[in-house]
């Protein structure tokens, strides 16, 4: 039953994104037979160090979607305080609903069943522009963001942008 609800909802969201694309990303299925695995192309936001980059990621939806959030993982190398070195994206909107046991996030900042693929990806684009270096998934990137923004951080991001363009 839950899988049917997830598939129905995801099918509707995919149709909506195809009808009304949103600037900054494109999304589609990895395999037409599996609505729970999406491939996303995130374009580096204008006026950011990531500008000009095309970063591939996967959205992996649980069978319990929309009651539980998907996971997002960059397949392309992505240097950012809120993206782990293995590509896992760490932002509030993708955290399980309810109270944060560490008291860092308010429940309304975490996953809510009203979120869609569009709201997730718009949150990711916002995260790219405004990292949260107080709760990093990549401590090294967060340290560079804080201490060496114009030098080491910028250099690492530009390297990722160049690598992302090699596959076009």
Cα atoms in the 13 Å half-sphere on the side-chain side of 113 = 7
Q: Rounded distance, CA 116 to CA 13, Å?
A: 7
How far is residue 138's CA from residue 87's CA, in Å, rounded to a whole number? 10
Cβ-contact 48, 39 below 8 angstroms: no
Indicate if 90 belongs to the active site: yes
132, 98, 127: which is closest to 112 by C-alpha? 98
Identified catalytic residue from 90, 94, 120, 160 = 90
Query: Catalytic residue numbers?
Result: 90
């Amino acid at each position: 039953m839950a899988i049917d609800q997830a598939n129905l909802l995801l099918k509707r969201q995919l149709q909506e994104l195809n009808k009304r694309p949103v600037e900054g990303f494109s999304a589609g299925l990895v395999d037409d037979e599996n609505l729970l695995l999406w491939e996303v192309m995130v374009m580096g936001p204008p006026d950011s160090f990531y500008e000009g980059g095309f970063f591939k990621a996967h959205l992996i939806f649980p069978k319990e979607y929309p009651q539980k959030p998907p996971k997002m993982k960059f397949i392309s190398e992505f240097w950012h305080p809120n993206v782990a070195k293995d590509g896992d994206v760490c932002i509030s909107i993708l955290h399980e609903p309810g109270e944060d046991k560490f008291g860092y996030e308010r429940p309304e900042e975490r996953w809510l069943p009203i979120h869609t693929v569009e709201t997730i990806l718009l949150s990711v684009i916002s995260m790219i522009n405004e990292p949260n270096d107080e709760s990093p998934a990549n401590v090294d990137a967060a340290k560079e963001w804080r201490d060496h923004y114009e030098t080491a951080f910028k250099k690492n991001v530009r390297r990722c942008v160049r690598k992302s363009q090699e596959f076009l």
